[in-house]
A and B are shown apart, each in its own frame.
Chain A
Amino acid sequence: MVQIDNQYILTELQDKFGERIYNSYEPYGLLTIELDKNSIKEVLQFLYDHKELQMQFLTDVCGIHYPQVVGKELGVVYHVHSLINNIRLRIKCFMPIENPAIDSATFLFSSANWQERETFDFYGIIFIGHPNLKRILNADEMDYFPMRKEYPLEDGTRTDKDDSYFGR
């Protein structure tokens, strides 16, 4: 019986994928890896099929936007969970804002369906191979992706509210 901990997961992943995992850290004890976005399908499948790890539960998919990081503006953050070993892993894949496309995780997890639609809806990230990639929470007619940082919370043309005194 091997000791399943963050180090073990990282070693297993690095043995298999090497350079494609280009960064890893452990904020608050949760192993986080940054991954080449083209490998996401392979990595999820590897973690799913791994005899010891059995990371077969996709907890969460969400997007994130860093406008100042050129070439890696948009990211998708996956939280996968091994219910057998009770250990979580966070996977981040970054992509340029001009062509934000990544493989869909729906081939493995049905739960990815709506979560990826939500990510598309908010950030405009295209999930290749998704069965029904369209907006989920916002109206279909919307022509921008509201969670991107360049969009202010409220309509910038409003003049009836002045929040400048409150640092907003």
Chain B
Amino acid sequence: MIESLALNNKSEKIDYNILNLGPTHPATHGVFQNVLKMDGEIIHETTSTIGYIHRAFEKIAEHKPFYQITTLTDRLNYCSSPINNMGWHMTVEKLLGVEIPKRVDYMRVIIMEFARIADHLVCNSIIGADTGALTGFTYVFQWREKIYDIFEEVCGARLTTNIGRIGGMERDFSPACMKKMHDFLNDFPKYFDEFTLLLERNRIFMERNIGVGPISAERALNYGFTGPNLRAAGVDYDVRVMNPYSSYQDFDFMIPLGTQGDTYDRFVVRQHEIRESLKIIKQALNNLPEGKFFADVPDFFLPPKEEVYNNMEALIFHFKIVMGEATVPVGEVYHSVEGGNGELGFYMVSDGGRTPYRLHFRRPCFVSYQAYPEMIKGSMLSDAILTMSSMNVIAGELDA
């Protein structure tokens, strides 16, 4: 492949250098290898190698009961695990045909939007760090920690959350959790404004990022881009609006769009999405419906512990759930949610057994990262790093 391209340069012979970027380079923020064919500092050709943290999730999923697959989804995009968890829960609920109470929907939306904020904060502050502005990174990471505090309050875990259950949430929001969420909503915007001031209209930052790693809307669609990367190129596709799940149709929010599809546009789109997410969380918290925090699916939703100890039926359900002996309908279902990086799809074929017959994760990173060689062709090495961090490629989601 490398030789074939060199045929274009028959007249003048260029001495290309081969440079290994990765697999364990600190600037790639994950385990990726790119073999770059360089002409001086200009990238001539890229060969991406992935699979360094392939963990055979799809094979494992064929052998696990449904509730145990949630922990696998944690490890896809680990910057926003709750979105993956909820997406998986909703896939199973769609297969079962469960009616979910409004309160659960709203609680999920709150958690998912917090996860989106955390995801985008990581991505945007890393873009800053890669351009040499480490300040913003250290500044917003304390807020990511506070989001993790909220997750901890809901489910007990911080990074790989395993949050929620099939059929609802494991517990209601506690008063302490409510306080943390309100504190976050009150305090975060001030700090976020400072972060915005630091970078968004900073002349140096703009000069560094505008025009770096661009992709046109046509190419982005052809490459299967979704999420902020696609919207930065100017296509207003957002699963939350196109195919609303979890009552997203109840909320009033905007879909920020870019025009150039370059690193700066991806940065700005994510900045604005954080603001929109805050809007959604506020609406959901203010209108949080009363009611139960779980649906009526005794086959999947664990009964309360007191009942398990004192009630025969609850004990049986508890045992059956933990052993994964629930009955599910035969069928196939595709469900997608708007993950941190785009459309995260779950295609599940069920044969009525205790495990999925086939489960395929449509990982947005995996689909869009294949455009990387095209996006960085002819650009500088340092621009390639920026392009990668602005695409927010997460190794866990790439390899599954």
Contact = CB atoms under 8 A, between A and B. Distances in A.
A65 B370 CA distance: 26
A53 interface: no
Contacts of A30: 333-334
Nearest to B343: A59
Interface stretch (B56-64, B168-176, B259-267): B56-64
A57 B242 contact: no
A110 B334 contact: no
Interface in A78-98: 79, 83, 86, 88, 90
Interface in B27-85: 50-51, 54, 56, 58-60, 62-63
Nearest to B370: A114
Contact of B51 (A56, A138, A166): A138
Classify chain A: how many residues form its interface, as a range: 35 or more
A153 B59 contact: yes
B224 A137 contact: no
B134 interface: no
B331 interface: yes
B54 A60 contact: no
Contacts of B51: 135-139
Contacts of A32: 332
Contacts of B253: none
B360 interface: yes
A137 B334 contact: no
Contacts of A65: 358
A11 interface: no
Contact of A77 (B56, B95, B243, B347): B347
B223 A86 contact: no
Given A60-B362, A138-B51, A111 B370 contact: yes
A68 to B, nearest CB: 11
B358 A64 contact: yes
Contacts of A100: none
Classify chain B: how many residues form its interface, as a range: 35 or more
Contact of B360 (A60, A139, A146): A60
A56 B323 CA distance: 43
A32 to B, nearest CB: 7
A153 B331 contact: no
A115 interface: yes
Contacts of B366: 114-115, 118
B334 A88 contact: yes
B195 interface: no
A105 B368 CA distance: 16
Contacts of A167: 323, 325, 354
Contacts of B325: 167
Interface string B202-216: 000000000000000
A51 B354 CA distance: 44
A111 B332 contact: no
Contact of B349 (A64, A118, A135): A64
B323 A147 contact: no
A158 interface: no
Given A88-B334, A137-B51, A110 B370 contact: yes
Nearest to B331: A27
Interface string B304-348: 000000000000000000010100000111101000000101010
Contacts of A146: 56, 59
Given A83-B242, A110-B223, 4 more contacts: A27-B331, A27-B332, A28-B332, A30-B333
Interface of B: 1, 50-51, 54, 56, 58-60, 62-63, 94-95, 219, 221-224, 235, 237, 242-243, 323, 325, 331-334, 336, 343, 345, 347, 349, 354, 358, 360, 362, 366-367, 369-371, 399-400
7 contacts: A27-B331, A59-B336, A88-B334, A114-B367, A138-B51, A138-B54, A166-B323
The 5 A-B residue pairs whose C-beta atoms are closest, nearest first, are A111-B224, A137-B51, A62-B360, A137-B54, A60-B362
